[in-house]
Amino acid sequence: MSRVPNWLTPAALGVSLLVNLALGGYVAGQHLRGDPPGQARGDDRPRFERPDGMPEISRDDRREVRALMRQGFGSAEAELAARREAEQRFAQVLAADTFDRQAAEVALRELRDADVMLRDRIGLEVLGGISELTPEQRAWVAWMLSGPKDNHGKHKKKDQGTRPPPEGEPPR
Model confidence over 62-103: pLDDT tens digits?
A: 888 888 888 888 888 999 999 999 999 999 999 999 999 999
pLDDT of residue 151 exceeding 70, the answer is: no
pLDDT of residue 167 exceeding 70, the answer is: no
Q: Is the whole model's pTM more than 0.75, yes or no?
A: no
Question: In the prediction, which pLDDT does 152 show?
Answer: 55
The pLDDT confidence band at residue 157, using thresholds 50, 70 and 90, is: low
**Does residue 49 lie within any of the structural domains?**
no
**Does residue 153 lie within any of the structural domains?**
no
Question: In the prediction, which pLDDT does 162 show?
Answer: 45
Question: In the prediction, which pLDDT does 82 show?
Answer: 94
**Does residue 65 lie within any of the structural domains?**
yes
**Does residue 120 lie within any of the structural domains?**
yes
**Does residue 37 lie within any of the structural domains?**
no
Best CA proximity match to 53, nearest among 161, 158, 146: 146
From CA 89, how far away is CA 103, in angstroms rounded?
A: 10
Task: Region of 76 please: left (phi>0), alpha (psi -120 to 50) or beta.
Answer: alpha
From CA 72, how far away is CA 69, in angstroms rounded?
A: 5
Segment 151-165 mean pLDDT: 51
From CA 130, how far away is CA 117, in angstroms rounded?
A: 20
Q: What number of CA atoms fall less than 13 Å from residue 50's CA on the CB side? A: 13
**Does residue 69 lie within any of the structural domains?**
yes
pLDDT of residue 153 exceeding 70, the answer is: no
Mean pLDDT of the chain: 78
Domain count, the chain: 1
Question: In the prediction, which pLDDT does 160 show?
Answer: 47
Percentage of the chain modeled with pLDDT above 70: 71
Domain of residue 130 covers: 59-143
- Name which residue leads in pLDDT, 22 or 103: 103
User: Within 10 Å of residue 159's Cβ, how many Cβ atoms?
Assistant: 6
**Does residue 29 lie within any of the structural domains?**
no
pLDDT of residue 40 exceeding 60, the answer is: no
**Does residue 95 lie within any of the structural domains?**
yes
Best CA proximity match to 89, nearest among 110, 116, 58: 110
